[in-house]
Amino acid sequence: MLVQKSPAVVRILQHHLRYFSLAPLLQERVEAPSTPPLEYLPGFPKPDPKYAETIHAIPRAKSGKIISAKERKVGRVPSIVFEQEDGQHGGNKRLISVQNNQIKKLVNQMGRSFFLSRVYDLEVRPEFESEEVIEKVRVLPRLLHLHSGTDAVLNVTFIRAPSSALLKVDVPLVFRGEDVCPGLKQGAYLNIIKRTVKYLCPPDVIPPYIDLDLSELEVGQKLSMGDLKVHPALKLVLPENEPVCKIVGARVSDQRKSK
C-alpha cells in the first residue's frame, strides 16, 4: 500500500537529503589542516639567536606615578602588556614589572630600534625568584621610554604577538656598500631620510633589520620604500614612492673648501 506524502513533507525530506549529501564535504572543510606558520626565507635577515632571551616579569596591581617611582627604586621597570589579538588596538591590558638590569642589557646590546623589532617570550611569575609560571606569552616591545638625561629605562610597553596577528613594526634599516658606492666616491654624500620603515608584520617573520645596498648608486639616485627587499608577507604602511635615502651632490661649503 502506497502512502502519498504531502508537499510539505516532501520538502522536509528533500532538505534532509541535501544536508546529509553535503555532510562529508562540510566535515572535510571543518577538518582541513590549518595554514602552516610562516618562515624566514633564504637571503633575508633572521633574528640573531644570541639575543633570544626570555623576559621575566611579575604582576603589578596598581599604576600611577608613586607606584612607578617605587618600582624603579627597587630595580624594576613598570610595564604593560596589551592583549589584543590583532595587535592594532589597545584591548585589555596586564600591569607587570620587568627587571631593569635585563631590559637595560638588551637595549645596550642591540640598540633601541633593534630591541623594538624583535619578538620575545615573556614569563610572568609571582616573584622573580619563584619557580611557578603564571603566564607565558610571546610579545613584541611596542614602546620604550628612556630618561632623557641618563638613558635609564623608565617603562616598557609590550603587545601580544600570536602567529595570527599583524603587528605594526618600525623595522631598522642597515646601509651597506658605502665604501664602493660610485656617487659617494665622486664626493657626494648620503642623505638618510628614514632610519626605520613601518610595516605590518606577521610575528613569525618580523625582520630584525632590512639591508639597503648602496653599491651601485650614482649622484642624484635614491632608494624608495618600494625598493626594499622584504618577506612577501610584510605590508608597507606608507606609499612605496616614499624616499628612504638619496645620494646628494657635494655641499656648497665642501666645494668652497676644495678650491
What are the domain boundaries of the chain?
49-163, 168-253
Strand order in the sheet with 210-213: 210-213, 167-176, 196-201, 235-236
pLDDT at 151: 87
Contact 227, 245 (CB under 8 A): no
Tell me, what's the pLDDT at 35?
A: 65
- Residue 63 has φ and ψ, to the nearest 5°, of -120, 175
The list of the chain residues with pLDDT below 70 reads 1-35, 84-91, 250-259
pLDDT at 89: 52
pLDDT at residue 6, rounded to an integer: 53
- Determine the CATH number of domain 49-163: 2.40.240.10
**CATH level 2 (architecture), domain 168-253:** Beta Complex (2.170)
Judge contact between 134 and 125, C-beta under 8 A. yes
For residue 90, the model assigns a pLDDT of 52
Distance CA(221)–CA(182), nearest Å, equals: 11
pLDDT tens string 153-211: 999 999 999 998 889 999 999 999 999 999 999 999 999 999 999 999 999 999 999 99
Q: What is the CA radius of gyration of the chain?
A: 27
Length of the chain: 259
